[in-house]
């Protein structure tokens, strides 16, 4: 299988702390295996919604984007 750079599929988490935990686990594993690629946490502000995301790749040609959606009115992506 081949894929262009940054081709990805996505998952969401329920909280930013959960996103941080996934990122920390990936960084710890990256210390033992240099095939782990990580694009660190970024936040995009869309007014009523901020999306915080990370990208992780390991062995497969596609990356996994993991997102936390924070609505300014207090909703989460799970509602």
Find the radius of gyration of the CA atoms of the chain.
14
pLDDT value for 1: 79
DSSP of 20-66 = HHHHHHHHHHHTT-TT-EEEEEEEEE-SSEEEEEEEEESSSSSEEEE
Per residue of the chain (79 residues), give pLDDT as tens. 788 878 888 999 999 999 999 999 999 999 999 999 999 999 999 999 999 999 999 998 899 999 999 998 766 555 4
Residue 4 DSSP code: -
- Listed by start position, the domains of the chain span 8-71
CATH architecture of 8-71: Roll (3.10)
How long a stretch of residues is the chain? 79
CA-nearest of 28, 29, 18, 79 to 54 is 18
pLDDT value for 73: 76
pLDDT value for 26: 98
pLDDT value for 7: 84
């Amino acid at each position: 299988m081949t894929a262009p750079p940054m081709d990805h599929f996505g998952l969401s988490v329920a909280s930013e702390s959960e996103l941080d935990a996934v990122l920390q686990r990936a960084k710890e594993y990256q210390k033992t295996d240099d095939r782990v690629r990580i694009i660190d946490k970024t936040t995009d502000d869309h007014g009523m919604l901020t999306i915080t995301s990370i990208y992780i790749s390991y062995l497969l040609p596609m990356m996994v984007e993991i997102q936390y959606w924070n609505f300014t009115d207090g909703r989460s992506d799970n509602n």
